[in-house]
Amino acid sequence: MVLCSIGLISGLAYHELSRTTQENATIRLDRAAHAAASILRYGTNERLLPEFAGTGAPALIRVSEATADELLQPGEKLKALVETIGKTNQGAANLFRWSASTKTFKEFATTLPGPEGQSPPAVTIDEGHPAFASLSTGQPYSGNVPVQGRFRLAYLTPIVTEGGKVAGALAVDVGWVDDLSLAENRLKTRITSAAIIILIAVLLIGGLLLHFELRPLRRLAKAADDLAAGLQPKRIPFTDRRDEIGDLAHGLEKVTDLQDKLHKLAYTDPVTTAGNRSRYFFDLSQALKRARTGSFSASLIHLDFNGFAKVNDTFGQQVGNRVLLQAYARLANIFGPSAQIARISADDFCILLPFDGKGAIAEDYAVQAIDMLSVPFQMEEGEIHVEPSIGIALLPRDAEDAETAHRMAGLALRAAKRNAGPRYEFFSPPLNDRVQSEMLTETLLRAALQTRQLVLHYQPQVCPADGRLIGLEALLRWPHEKRGNIPPAEFIPIAEKTGLILDLGRYVLDSACKQAAQWRQAGFEFGQVSVNVSPLQFRQSSFAETVRQTLKTYGLPASCLCLEVTENVFVDTREQMVLDILSELQQIGVQLSLDDFGSGYSSLNYLHRLPFQELKIDRAFISGADSHPQREQLFEAIVRLGRSLGLRVIAEGAETAGELALTVTHQCDGIQGYICSPAVPAEHLQSQLQNFRTDLKSESLAGSSNRSSKRLA
Ligand code: C2E
Ligand code: MG
Ligand code: MG
């Protein structure tokens, strides 16, 4: 804008100067012509009489017919007059006489010297001369005329007789044209130079001013860029200014504050105020980035509480949240400000603990954390106990990327939960191998389920006294073409960990009910078919409905189905909830069996309150009980306990004739063990049972009350 204005003003000045110079020259020329005509008038006693136009310049000079010839002759008088005219004009003056014969105006008096000061050759104005056309028609001419190879700015006034004939001309000029325009050109050059200098100066000064004036804007723009890129600028500059820049800075400061708040919200766990999952993975990635440069090492501690769901179930989520908040406070206290603590899901805390080089090691912290968190939480609702476990990965030793690091700490945590000893575990390559193998199994299992490679075998439950079939337990079998038969003990825990057990369980329930319905149709009296139900399945809200639907699909009476659950259903689930689910199943009319009784978490006080019809005594109690009196007493006590509660008692895992005899002696309702039959495909069942009954009648088993320990399996 400024540059354009300067250019425009310079252009106008240039144009105005040209016009003024032109006007000046014209005025000067007109005046010179006026003066020359006047001098001629008075010098010739008005015999040459000028007539003036409106501008003051002479239009023509009148002369009488009679005196024209006489007057327009060279002579001293006219020569003196011409010289006077020349001096007055500061230019040159000439008088011309018209020659009718040659049709030219011929100069006969002049003040103009030749180029070297000598008398110049007489000038003629003939056709081709710029003034000729005007003069020959009695009109004045004003303009440039060629003289001695250059141009002079001249005014030529025709001398006309009273009869209207052209008799001659008076010419005055104000100098050489190039001399006249010299000053003008010089001025123009100066104007142009000045304009250019001003332009450059404006450019330089403007540029410098802009540079300095825009500096705050550039810094604010940089701050805005940082904000947009998600980087939090340390401080917004220029907030103390009281101008537009200050306003802008204030605006940006508000945006920064807002972003800061949003950032905190987005990265904070609302329950505990610890970091959340996003914060954790961000911090972990940053830590690993630093670790890769070799300047940093840290421990990644993954902590969770076994059975925390039970706290929520028992006391409600609000109380659960308050426990988590207090747990976080304890953790913050233990690990100090240098640790980054995040809660990444329900009861999972992840702690990134930088190695401080002072020898404080993750193990010390882990022990301390387990001790501190094992101290019960005092709540209004009562004392709450939680059981922490910790998995530790060392960075960068164990992992180079966040996902792997998290997985490694998680693996260590899982291992810690299985530990009989301390409830913390470091990640190690063998641990990794185990987990890798578990992962492979999981993949294979998923495929096997999809391609229906998993099959059900059935293990008979018989009355030990008479060998009558009272039930069949459906047991999953996974024949794998390369790995052989993969035992349930290997794949069921993995299916439980991954949730695959839900699909697997549905498949087993469906297949077993289908098979049972077929047997019924075929008239095979099998008593009941027992299906194992894992705790995860059991807790599903839709489980009872699934059972109802499956029975309906195959038209199987509910009493033909027995669902076996282990005491593990009480881990992580409130007793009342277990009772509710069992009652719902009982209403359907299915049989309920407590499997592996005595093998794990046992609480005798719930037994009488739960609607089980059957108790399956864990194999550990019968194994060897025929040869160890104390074991036998224990076995007998458990059988009695079951019977006293009105439950059908099944002894699992009887392998020898001696163990079989024990079950007869202590009046077990049923046995399920290799002594009778292992789990076999449905089509082999009949022959298997036949063999057992034959054996039972034979000497060896009938006389087994002598407690021989003939192993059959
Ligand atoms: P479980 O429900 O207690 O099943 C009884 C287990 O004891 C079976 O092992 C059976 O083969 C074994 N067994 C029976 N008699 C004897 C014996 O005389 N001696 C010995 N040593 N073992 C005997 P299996 O089939 O390997 O199953 C192991 C566990 O896997 C089952 O224990 C059950 O907890 C689980 N499982 C098997 N199939 C399924 C299923 O379909 N669903 C669920 N959730 N779990 C299943
Ligand atoms: Mg079972
Ligand atoms: Mg069992």
Give 693 Cα–ligand 1 centroid separation in angstroms.
Answer: 23
Same-domain check for residues 334 and 295: yes
Same-domain check for residues 398 and 482: no
Which of 537, 652, 710 to mutate for ligand 1's pocket (most ligand atoms within 8 Å of CB)?
Answer: 652
- From the CA of 537, give the closest atom in ligand 1: 44
Same-domain check for residues 519 and 667: yes
Same-domain check for residues 481 and 575: yes
Domain presence at residue 140: yes
Give 357 Cα–ligand 3 centroid separation in angstroms.
Answer: 52
pLDDT at res. 706 = 43
Domain presence at residue 223: no
- Look-up: residue for tokens 């040869």? 627
Ligand 1 binding pocket (C-beta < 6 A) is 459, 475-476, 487-489, 492, 505, 508, 532, 534, 564, 595-596, 619, 652-653, 655, 672-674, 679, 713
For the chain, the domain total comes to 3
As a whole number of angstroms, the distance between CA 344 and CA 559 comes to 45
596 with 618: CB under 8 angstroms? Answer: yes
Same-domain check for residues 417 and 464: no
As a whole number of angstroms, the distance between CA 374 and CA 388 comes to 7
Domain presence at residue 232: no
pLDDT at res. 601 = 66
pLDDT at res. 360 = 55
As a whole number of angstroms, the distance between CA 100 and CA 572 comes to 140
Q: 3-state DSSP call for residue 484? A: strand
Same-domain check for residues 459 and 565: yes
pLDDT at res. 712 = 36
CA distances, 557 to each of 560, 576, 691 (Å): 6, 28, 29
- Picking from 379, 375, 427, 372, the residue whose alpha carbon sits closest to that of residue 404 is 427
Domain presence at residue 291: yes
Nearest protein Cα to ligand 1, atom 7 = 653
Same-domain check for residues 48 and 112: yes
394 with 299: CB under 8 angstroms? Answer: yes
pLDDT at res. 420 = 63
Same-domain check for residues 702 and 564: yes
Q: What is the pTM of this model?
A: 0.56
- Look-up: residue for tokens 């001003």? 198
Same-domain check for residues 386 and 483: no
Nearest protein Cα to ligand 1, atom 33 = 532
Same-domain check for residues 158 and 23: yes
* Backbone dihedral region for residue 479 (phi beyond 0: left; psi -120 to 50: alpha; all else: beta): beta
pLDDT at res. 8 = 79
Domain presence at residue 514: yes
What's the pLDDT tens digit per position in 271-318?
A: 999 999 999 999 999 999 999 888 889 999 999 998 798 898 889 999
Same-domain check for residues 615 and 682: yes
- Picking from 602, 609, 592, the residue whose alpha carbon sits closest to that of residue 645 is 609
106: domain CATH number is: 3.30.450.20
Give 597 Cα–ligand 3 centroid separation in angstroms.
Answer: 8
Nearest protein Cα to ligand 1, atom 8 = 475
pLDDT at res. 267 = 92
pLDDT at res. 602 = 66
What's the pLDDT tens digit per position in 560-570?
A: 999 999 988 88
403: domain CATH number is: 3.30.70.270
Q: Which residues of the chain have pLDDT under 70?
A: 2-3, 6, 10, 13, 17, 114-115, 117, 357-360, 418-420, 572, 601-603, 699-713
Domain end position, chosen among 392, 427, 462 = 427
As a whole number of angstroms, the distance between CA 463 and CA 468 comes to 5
pLDDT at res. 258 = 84
Domain with 336, as residue range(s), is 268-427
Give 594 Cα–ligand 2 centroid separation in angstroms.
Answer: 9
Same-domain check for residues 99 and 20: yes
